Amino acid sequence: MEKSLHKDTTKTEEERKDRLEKLKKTIIMVGASSGIGFETALRMLGRGFSVANISRTPCALSRVKNYTADISNGTAMEKAIAEIASQTENLYGLVYCAGFSMAAPIEYASEDDYRYLFEINYFGALRAIKAVIPRLKKRGGRILIVSSMGATFPIAFDSFYSSSKAAVNLLAKSADMELRPYNIRVSAVQPGGTSTGFTFKRKIYDDLQSRDYSAKVKRAASALADMEQGGMSAGEVAKEVVNVLCDKNPPLLMQCGGWNKFYAMAGRILPERASQFINRKVYKQ
């Protein structure tokens, strides 16, 4: 009899915890296994949110619920978003921080490579937004995409990355216009150089692939790596991401850090030729 009572008490406690978890504000993250995404998940947990991550590699934080999906293949991401939404009574929003970068000359870039890049950086974000909108319409919520300062100041020989992030910024602006009547706010956060493992995952074309651009590709990729590894920490960027998510009136576009805010302002003031000249010097072109 005592053994049976103990089981019932344990079951009741588990049900209570499960119920409390369902009542927490839930944030769906795409790409929280490392870097900015990992640090953002950590801080969202610290703010009392429930975090569900969708990625190929699980997030190592024990309190994050992981759902395995290859964003570039099939509809696994959309199915994961539907499953997460069905398991919570208080879906707060979406953070999309998956990304891919490549140092390659436009002339010789493989179509498979740049289509994959856009599938991860732009179309993946678009698909995630489309999947989450119907689940946020009733109560409102937040959508945030991690963009890049590369959308404002193009990165030498990473033109596809810069282009995809510029497209993401305009997607965020347009989506915010459409979704405001449903109390859904959309933002794009623009980190500059950030010290994460993303630097070492970049696909860099070798001498054979780059051909006559080889030396320039090497210089540009090296300058970008130095900029990233000498830049803000992932934790600093994540802090700003979380602040935007929790802001009652979030900005449409937000640059991370004082220097990046200054650069963005300068980019709006300087003539295009001056901006391009500075960019060539930064990437040693």
226, 241, 165: which is closest to 194 by C-alpha? Answer: 226
> Structural domains in the chain?
23-282 (3.40.50.720)
> CA 57 to CA 67: how far, in whole Å?
9
30, 152, 161: which is closest to 100 by C-alpha? Answer: 161
* Percent of all residues in the chain with a pLDDT value above 90, rounded to a whole number: 79
Rounded mean pLDDT of the chain? 92
Span 246-281, pLDDT tens digits: 999 999 999 998 888 887 887 788 778 777 887 788
Strand 50-55 to 65-68 pairing:
parallel
SS3 1: coil
Between residues 101 and 21, which one has the greater pLDDT? 101
Query: pLDDT-derived band of residue 1, with 50, 70 and 90 as boundaries?
Result: very low
Q: Which helix (H) or strand (E) holds 103?
A: strand 102-103
The whole-number average pLDDT for the span 111-139 is 97
Span 30-46, pLDDT tens digits: 999 999 999 999 999 99
